[in-house]
Chains A and B, each alone.
Chain A
Amino acid sequence: QNILTVCFSVGYSAVALNHVIDFKEKKQEIIKPVSPSELFPSLPIVQGTSKRIKVLTRLTLVVSDPSHCNLLRSTSTNIRLYDIIAVFPKTEKLFHIACTTLDVDLVCINVTEKLPFYFRRPPVNMAIDRGIYFELLYTPAIKDSTMRRYTISNAISLMQICKGKNIVISSAAERALELRGPYDVANLGLLFGLSESEAKAAVSTNCRATMLHGETRKTACGVVYTVKKPRKVEEEETIVPACKKAKTQA
């Protein structure tokens, strides 16, 4: 996996685009949470915009049983170490639970086989309200033509229910050659039925929102951004007292 990291950074720095500043690493453990011991001695590489590539850790839980969800509630420190938590439900009940009550950031939508359940509108709407994003993978579409069909059909059915909101497209690439640039991925979003702005958002702003959601979950409070105010405002404030003074004098 060390090689993977190197491959990824080479790939994206070649593309050198702004919005994909960070990428996620995926670790799949079915029952035991594994502590991400060393964060892959990752050398942040300066990109074309003099910003470093961020490396986040992400955990995906493949749940086929409600008892697996107890892991999320257990206060094991291992789970805390992951930045983003995603869940991959296999039954409709679990999908409902994941959208409504589980404390996750992403819900993965299976693309490699026909979905055993249909999406229903209530849990999807609740997930959108809670700020949970749905994730689609595009790498199977590169490997196999059967999976391509399933990917597109599942993606289209998801679009019909959620109207294109809260979608994140990501790659589960296992090799460097399976990676595609951000604009290419946004174009794939058009294939899935998203509008152009939604497709681009699916790659950039939604991913960032997912990151922030993960941070919020870790710190258990909101995320506050401070922005430097431009100097103009201060000057206006100094002018106002002067006018007031003039009035009182006159």
Chain B
Amino acid sequence: RRELPDGGARPNAAQFKQLVVTALRELHGEVGAALPVDVLTYEEKTLSAILRVISSGLVKLWSALTLLGSYQNRTCAFRVLQTSPFLLALSGNSRELVL
């Protein structure tokens, strides 16, 4: 799950996907931009989304998102909240688990 704290712009779902692909292209070139990434959900209110990618492409995607600096001439930052191979695990925080 990723969260985008922004300066003021609010991208919609398609623009968000475009942003992700641009980040990949900037860091890893055409090969990176061709990495199949799916946006599973996207909330415009909180600017957070759940992305899906093949496991071998996780490092590329994550590093590309981390190093993205600007969106429409405005500084922005991606904040990766959770990564997991299972969708169910994204709903809870395993550090605060009370047994």
A141 to B75, CA, bound (A): 13
Q: Is B90 close to A, CB under 8 A?
A: no
A199 to B59, CA, bound (A): 12
Q: Given A48-B96, A145-B26, does the pair A184, B66 have CB atoms closer than 8 Å?
A: yes
Q: Is B45 close to A, CB under 8 A?
A: no
A187 to B67, CA, bound (A): 11
The digit string for A53-66, where 1 denotes a CB below 8 A from any CB of B, is 00000000000000
Would B63 and A177 count as touching, CB distance under 8 A?
no
A191 to B65, CA, bound (A): 13
Would A191 and B59 count as touching, CB distance under 8 A?
yes
Pick from B59, B68, B78: contact of A190, CB below 8 A: B59
Q: Given A48-B95, A177-B7, does the pair A188, B79 have CB atoms closer than 8 Å?
A: no
Q: Is A181 close to B, CB under 8 A?
A: yes
Would B77 and A177 count as touching, CB distance under 8 A?
yes
Within 8 A of B (CB), among A160-182: 175, 177-181
Q: Given A187-B59, A190-B59, does the pair A142, B79 have CB atoms closer than 8 Å?
A: no
Would A141 and B67 count as touching, CB distance under 8 A?
yes
Would A178 and B63 count as touching, CB distance under 8 A?
no
Within 8 A of A (CB), among B48-75: 59, 62-63, 65-69, 75
Looking at the assembled complex, report how far the CB atom of B79 sits from the nearest CB atom of chain A, in whole angstroms: 6
A148 to B76, CA, bound (A): 17
Q: Which B residues lie within 8 Å of A178 (CB)?
A: 69, 75, 77
Kindly name the residue among B7, B76, B79 whose own CB sees the greatest number of chain A CB atoms within 10 A.
B79
Q: Given A177-B77, A178-B75, A178-B77, does the pair A188, B7 have CB atoms closer than 8 Å?
A: no
Q: Is B19 close to A, CB under 8 A?
A: no
Of all chain B residues, which has the CB nearest A185? B66
Looking at the assembled complex, report how far the CB atom of B65 sits from the nearest CB atom of chain A, in whole angstroms: 8
A141 to B26, CA, bound (A): 11
Q: Which A residues lie within 8 Å of B77 (CB)?
A: 177-180
Pick from A49, A143, A175, A188: contact of B66, CB below 8 A: A188
Looking at the assembled complex, report how far the CB atom of A154 sits from the nearest CB atom of chain B, in whole angstroms: 15
Of all chain A residues, which has the CB nearest B75? A177
Looking at the assembled complex, report how far the CB atom of A54 sits from the nearest CB atom of chain B, in whole angstroms: 20
Q: Is B37 close to A, CB under 8 A?
A: no
Would B62 and A187 count as touching, CB distance under 8 A?
yes
A191 to B62, CA, bound (A): 10
Within 8 A of A (CB), among B14-56: 26-27
Would B63 and A143 count as touching, CB distance under 8 A?
no
The digit string for A127-144, where 1 denotes a CB below 8 A from any CB of B, is 000000000001001111
Interface residues of A (CB under 8 A from B): 14-16, 18, 48-49, 138, 141-145, 148, 175, 177-181, 183-185, 187-188, 190-191
A-B contact pairs, 14 of them (CB 8 A): A48-B95, A138-B67, A142-B68, A142-B69, A148-B67, A177-B5, A177-B7, A178-B69, A180-B79, A181-B79, A181-B80, A184-B66, A185-B66, A188-B63
Interface residues of B (CB under 8 A from A): 5, 7, 26-27, 59, 62-63, 65-69, 75-80, 83, 95-96
